[in-house]
Amino acid sequence: MNQFVLQHGKSAELRLFPHMLEVGIKKNGSIQLNTFLTTATEGIRIYYIIEGKFEWRINHQPYVFYPGDVAVIMPGAPFGSDNGVLEIGAFTWIHLGIHKGENGHILPGKWSGLSESEGAAIGKILSLNSSPVLSRFNEAGKILKCIHAELFGHEIGYQARINHQVDDLLIQVTRHMTRQSHPGRDFPKTFMRLEQVLRENLSHQWTVEEMAALVGLGTTLFTERVKSYSGFSPINYLINIRISEAIKLLKRPDISVTDIALDTGFYSSQHFSTTFKKLTGYRPSEFRKNHLSNQ
């Protein structure tokens, strides 16, 4: 295993990959001080531990990493070790430049072969994830190893293959995050966490695929679990959450019906009004008038 660092703008190997800001392998044979200082960048950084034990701080929180573990550092998150200490061991990493959507969630760039909806779902899950540690995630090491081989091999089609590998890395990281956070054995607890996330992001146009990915399940199994647990399909369950939040907001006369409609994820005030009447028997304005007159 030879160590190396490739940096965009300095290394010819990355000339065709402007989204790959840095790729490298570091093998450290002795404890080094002041060599792993805390930094924050605009890109997403993914580290895979090959050998040794590393104690790093991510976003000011301490974490311990062992071989097979992966650290995912989101844009702007401070990352380094106490006193800049770099322990004995080896790791490999990739630093990706990213774009951000209007909602602040990260998005793959034009280089990606992911569809718009898939890219948005992955970006959202990465943005919502609260744990930067992915345990026993050897698949990430295999993908990074493949990227290294393609970068130095320059065989026909290597540009497409590398971009495909980066897409696959983001997919696998996202899947591992959801499976690790929601192993599926305690679905009621998982379901409550999902509802919390939905309520905090109601203006987002959620798809069943996105919701299923958040809890680490395929869409078919996810739909079956939601129906079994709530009696509703995932979309109808989401609509019920939107309406329950809208009812809370309609009790506040300082918020317009149109703003409530958009804030709770309806396409328009008409869409909101039609759905609200269907589920409650009242139009939003009627509900508000009745509520205020009864105060």
For the chain, the straight-line distance linking the first and the last C-alpha, in angstroms and rounded, comes to 73
Q: To 10 degrees, what angle do helices 234-250 and 187-200 make?
A: 50
- What tokens were used for 240? 């019920």
- φ, ψ (nearest 5 deg) of residue 35: -120, -5
Task: Give Cβ neighbours of residue 291 (< 8 Å, ≥ 6 apart).
Answer: 250, 251
Mean pLDDT of 93-112: 82
pLDDT at site 238:
93
pLDDT at site 35:
86
Residue 122 CA from chain centroid, whole number: 5
20, HSE (Cβ side, Cα atoms, 13 Å): 30
Reported as a pLDDT band with limits 50, 70 and 90, residue 90 is very high
pLDDT at site 17:
94
Q: Does an H or E element contain 73, and which?
A: strand 70-73
Does residue 105 surpass a pLDDT of 80?
no
292, HSE (Cβ side, Cα atoms, 13 Å): 12
Residue with tokens 């369950």: 237
Q: How far apart are CA 30 and CA 240, in angstroms?
A: 58
Task: List residues bridging with 103 in a β-sheet.
Answer: none
Residue with tokens 């209007």: 102
- pTM for this model (two decimals): 0.68
Contact indicator for 129, 144 with CB cutoff of 8 Å: no
Strand pairing class (89-96; 20-28): antiparallel
pLDDT at site 125:
81
Q: Which tens digits make up the pLDDT trace of 114-169? A: 888 788 888 878 877 777 899 889 999 999 999 999 999 989 999 999 999 999 99
Q: Which tens digits make up the pLDDT trace of 47-72? A: 999 998 898 999 989 998 889 999 99
Q: How far apart are CA 163 and CA 269, in angstroms?
A: 42
Does residue 182 surpass a pLDDT of 60?
no
Reported as a pLDDT band with limits 50, 70 and 90, residue 1 is low
Helices (H), the chain: 116-128, 138-153, 158-181, 187-200, 208-214, 219-230, 234-250, 257-263, 269-280, 284-293
Nearest to 247 by CA among 211, 295, 279: 279
Task: List residues bridging with 54 in a β-sheet.
Answer: 65
Reported as a pLDDT band with limits 50, 70 and 90, residue 229 is confident
Q: Which tens digits make up the pLDDT trace of 252-267? A: 889 999 999 999 999 8
